[in-house]
Amino acid sequence: MNGNIRVYIAGKIGTENEKILLEKVDSLCKKMGFKTFLPHRDVGIAKNISDSKKIFEGDIKVGLENADIVVAVLDGLHVGAGTAWELGYAYSKGIPSIGLKTDEPVSNAFEYLSSILIESTPIVNSLEELKKKLTEISSKINPTA
Residue 145: predicted pLDDT: 42
CATH number of the domain bearing residue 21: 3.40.50.450
Its domain, for residue 130, covers 2-137
Residue 142: predicted pLDDT: 63
In a domain, 115, yes or no: yes
In a domain, 46, yes or no: yes
In a domain, 143, yes or no: no
In a domain, 144, yes or no: no
Residue 78 CA to residue 14 CA, distance in Å, equals: 12
In a domain, 132, yes or no: yes
In a domain, 28, yes or no: yes
Q: What is the DSSP string of the chain?
A: -GGG-EEEEE---SSHHHHHHHHHHHHHHHHTT-EEE-HHHHT----SGGGHHHHHIIIIIIIITT-SEEEEE--SSS--HHHHHHHHHHHHHT--EEEE--SS-GGGGHHHH-HHHHHHS-EESSHHHHHHHHHHHHTT-----
Q: At what angle do helices 127-138 and 16-31 cross, to 10 degrees?
A: 40
Torsion region of 67: left, alpha or beta (phi above 0 gives left; psi -120 to 50 gives alpha): beta
Number of domains, the chain: 1
Question: Can you give the pTM of this predicted structure?
Answer: 0.91
Hey, which residues does 69 pair with through a beta bridge?
A: 7
- Tell me the pLDDT of the chain (145 aa) as tens digits: 577 999 999 999 988 999 999 999 999 999 999 999 998 887 778 788 987 887 887 778 888 999 999 999 999 988 988 999 999 999 999 999 999 999 998 888 888 888 899 999 999 999 999 999 999 999 988 654 4
Residues in the chain: 145
Q: Contact, 4 vs 15, CB < 8 A? A: no
